[in-house]
């Protein structure tokens, strides 16, 4: 039996209330059930964002955005501004150099925006969703919402038939006795997928863009699961937009931002070399 699309309005006041109560009520629990189907290290919420309104969807109605409030972990301050800045920077760089991907009608970097509830919340547009032209569904209070189609994607671990435990190229860590072991997902394995891409040149360009912007922003937790592709029929795939760019090196508050654990050194650093970033004195401000 086919599921029917269902929605309910999510007001900013309710969103703020739930953000403030995360120590008492897990952020993934809404209306008595779990609302999460994506990997999470930070708190996340899947919503449909249409115009200036947010909706929680059920049944056949797919989400369009991922909301990420500030983490409760004090070791990760200003993450909303951090990720927003890094993603916007990568977007500006990609559009200036390459323009829009006309074949896919999408930008090279996922679109992000800051919603104020009034606490800042990062809204990330999902690139594994597509609006169905000319189709609408009924929403609450007579609102008509666009029908959304889910797109099948796979990440770098799935594409290379690697375990999630091997998402870092140095899958055994950076210890003196194991740093030479690089059996995880690295660039050599990812670029070997080139023949499987529908547009190999575009796919390689997007992987290169991700590598360069990850290096420039100092994201020390980049890994194979950050690289994702659309699974198309017939088999060739197409690279998705860039996502999850943040600066993870220490800020001017070293006591609040400890250095990443050796285990978290990404395959990017292992591939390019043992790169270390100087301590930055920059501060993050919301705009």
Instruction: Name the residues annotated as catalytic.
Output: 221
Helices (H), 106-199: 156-159, 187-191
Burial of 76 (0-12, 13-18, 19+ CB in 10 A): middle
DSSP 3-state helix, strand, coil percentages of the chain (rounded to 5)? 25, 25, 50
Type and span of the H or E element at 50:
strand 45-50
Number of neighbouring beta carbons within 10 Å of residue 124: 21
218: left (phi over 0), alpha (psi -120 to 50) or beta: left
Q: How far apart are CA 156 and CA 175, in angstroms?
A: 24
Strand order in the sheet with 6-10: 6-10, 53-58, 45-50, 65-69, 120-125, 112-116
Question: Could you tell me if 148 and 61 are in contact, meaning their C-beta atoms sit under 8 angstroms apart?
Answer: yes
Nearest to 228 by CA among 212, 210, 247: 210
């Amino acid at each position: 039996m086919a599921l029917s699309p269902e929605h309910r309005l999510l007001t900013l006041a309710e969103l703020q209330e739930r953000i403030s109560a995360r120590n008492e009520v897990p952020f993934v629990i809404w209306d008595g059930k779990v609302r999460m189907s994506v990997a999470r290290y930070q708190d996340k919420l899947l919503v449909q964002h249409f115009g200036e309104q947010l909706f929680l969807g059920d049944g056949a109605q797919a989400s369009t955005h991922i909301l990420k409030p500030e983490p409760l972990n004090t070791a990760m301050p200003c993450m909303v501004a951090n990720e927003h800045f890094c993603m916007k920077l990568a977007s500006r760089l990609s559009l200036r150099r390459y323009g829009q991907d006309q074949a896919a009608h999408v930008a090279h970097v996922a679109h992000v925006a800051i919603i104020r509830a009034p606490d800042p919340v990062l809204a990330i547009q999902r690139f594994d969703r597509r609006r169905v032209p000319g189709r609408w569904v009924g929403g609450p209070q007579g609102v008509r919402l666009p029908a959304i189609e889910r797109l099948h994607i796979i990440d770098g671990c799935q594409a290379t038939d690697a375990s999630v435990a091997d998402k870092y190229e140095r899958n055994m860590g950076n210890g003196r006795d194991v740093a030479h072991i690089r059996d995880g997902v690295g660039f050599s394995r990812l670029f070997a997928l080139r023949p499987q891409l529908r547009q190999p040149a575009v796919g390689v360009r997007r992987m290169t863009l991700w590598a360069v912007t990850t290096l420039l922003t100092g994201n020390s937790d980049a890994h194979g699961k950050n690289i994702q592709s659309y699974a198309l029929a017939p088999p060739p795939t197409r690279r998705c937009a860039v996502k999850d760019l943040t600066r993870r090196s220490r800020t001017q508050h070293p006591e609040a931002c400890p250095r990443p654990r050796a285990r978290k050194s990404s395959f990017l650093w292992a591939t390019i070399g043992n790169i270390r970033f100087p301590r930055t004195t920059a501060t993050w401000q919301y705009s």
